[in-house]
Structure formats: structure tokens, C-alpha cells
Structure 1
Amino acid sequence: MKKIITTSDLQNSPLEELKVAFNKAQQDLTKSEPNSPERRNALASIENIRRAMNSRHIQRPKPPGF
């Protein structure tokens, strides 16, 4: 992974796109060499994608009575 996927890149992405990006970043991570810039970028991207996915879950309205 050459470029870090930033939170601003992800802010308008629907959950399904985030899942695809997460899987791609994980694949890039497995192909990267230890301590390489590509590995660091993949790890940073995964963390950013996780945060974006979590924020989508938090922002969902709760059903009445909960």
C-alpha cells in the first residue's frame, strides 16, 4: 500500500465500501515486508478504516425503548 487511507478519504463512504477497503488493506498488509513503509501504511489505513466503521455503528439511531 503506497498511500495511507485517511479519515477524510473515508468520511462519506458507506459501510459496504469501508468493508471492501478494509479487506484490501488487510491483503496489502499480508503482502508487505516487516518494517516496510508499505506495512506501516497498511496498518495506519486499517486503523482509520476501523474507526470509520465504528463511527457508522455508533451513529445509527436506537430503536424506541432502548
Structure 2
Amino acid sequence: MKLVSRFEAASRSTAELHGLLAEAFNAFAAAPRGSHERRDALQSMRNIEEELACRGPSI
């Protein structure tokens, strides 16, 4: 999985971000420990979660 930057996360809808978060989680779980792919997936999850937190709860 490619890294999802904060800028890219900000340009996505909330529904898209939830889908990307699931993708990043699965990529993190499947990647070998210490690999570049695992670090990118973890940073992507952080970026996506930060963007979702900035948006607040949705009704």
C-alpha cells in the first residue's frame, strides 16, 4: 500500500477514509515486521485517524 499523506486524507470523504483505514490495517497486518510497507501502512493509519479526528463525530 502506498502512503496516504495528511493532504490526501483531507481531500477524501469520510466514507473513503474509513475504507482506506481498513485497507491500511490489513496491509500493516500482512507486511513483514520492520519492512518499509509496514511503516507506510502504520503512518497511513495515523494520518487517516488524525483527519477523522479533526472532522469530529458525524450523524
TM-score by length of 1: 0.81
User: 25-34 vs 5-14, which deviates more?
Assistant: 5-14
Letter in 1 for 2:42: L
Structural mapping, 1:8-23, within 5 Å = 8-23=7-22
Is residue 31 of structure 1 aligned with residue 30 of structure 2? yes
Secondary structure at the residue paired with 2:28? helix
Is residue 53 of structure 1 aligned with residue 52 of structure 2? yes
Secondary structure at the residue paired with 1:52? helix
Q: Give the % identical residues.
A: 26
Following TM superposition, where does structure 1 have runs of at least 4 consecutive aligned residues deviating by more than 2 angstroms? none
Task: Give the Cα separation in 2 of the matches to 1:5 and 1:33.
Answer: 19
Residue 64 (structure 1) aligns with: none
Q: Which of 1 and 2 has greater Rg? A: 1
Q: Whose helix proportion is higher, 1 or 2?
A: 2
The alignment covers a number of residue pairs equal to: 58
